[in-house]
Amino acid sequence: MTHLRRLEVVGTSDFPRAAADRILNEILGAVRARGTAALMLAGGSTPERVYEELARREHAPWSRVDVFFGDERSVAPDHPDSNYAMARRALLDRIPIPGHRVHRMSAEGPDLDAAAARYAELLPAAIDVLVLGIGEDGHTASLFPHAAALTASGRLVVPTRGPKPPHERLSVTPEVIRSARSCVVLAAGAAKASAVARSLEGPQDLGGCPAQLARDRIWILDRDAAELLGQAGG
Ligand code: 6PG
């Protein structure tokens, strides 16, 4: 499947609205086409305001949406570092989504390999709307530069180890990103500008910049995160 890159660059105050509108648009497209939408959420801090804005969209078809997670830290689901806890706070506790349609990625147990295999069993053949963030080092989901997970063939979810605590995590693999029907990358703030430029305009370097996996997808950027675009070599 080929993808046409789409860049939306907005003022910082407009970022949550623009990102929420785009995600909703992709959800509506999936529901129109197939009757349901498999939405996979990103973690970290950037999406929180976006999810709060998304929760305010009255006409979102939540009864038709299945929610999954692209990665999770190995912490309890109510831990301050939990991506699930953030999604509950910012979105899931604010919308009329049936409980059975929320598929938490349980990464708090002792056996992350078994947890990864269990979660992979839950995933559909393709995610309809995959939301990703990007780290300053170019990571996305919990796929960090030069990680073995980047070449994990035949697996959809794997244990990974991040440089910052909580170190132990679960993450979807590049296969899930590549097969997603729609992918929306969220980046805001000047600290992300270099990673955004490397991802979108730098030389092909998946190992060094895993966010290049979403190079030709939809990117919602605030002006600070976009400030180096058009200046990167290559
Ligand atoms: C995670 C995220 C991760 C995140 C980036 C950016 O679990 O940390 O899934 O991929 O999107 O690290 O995080 P911020 O939005 O906090 O900058």
Number of the ligand 1 atom closest to the C-alpha atom of 169? 7
Which protein residues are within 6 Å of ligand 1, measured from CB?
Answer: 42-46, 71, 83, 133-135, 139-142
Q: pLDDT for 31-83, tens place per residue?
A: 999 999 999 999 999 999 999 999 999 999 999 999 999 999 999 999 999 99
* Ligand 1 centroid to residue 71 C-alpha, Å: 9
pLDDT in tens, 188-200: 999 999 999 999 9
CA distance 62 to 230: 38
pLDDT grade for 129, boundaries at 50, 70 and 90: very high
Picking from 118, 3, 123, the residue whose alpha carbon sits closest to that of residue 70 is 123
Beta strands 157-161 and 168-172 are antiparallel
87 C-alpha to ligand 1 centroid (Å): 13
101, 151 in Cβ contact below 8 A? no
Mutate to test the pocket of ligand 1, among 142, 176, 196 (most ligand atoms within 8 A of CB): 142
Does residue 197 sit in helix, strand or coil?
helix
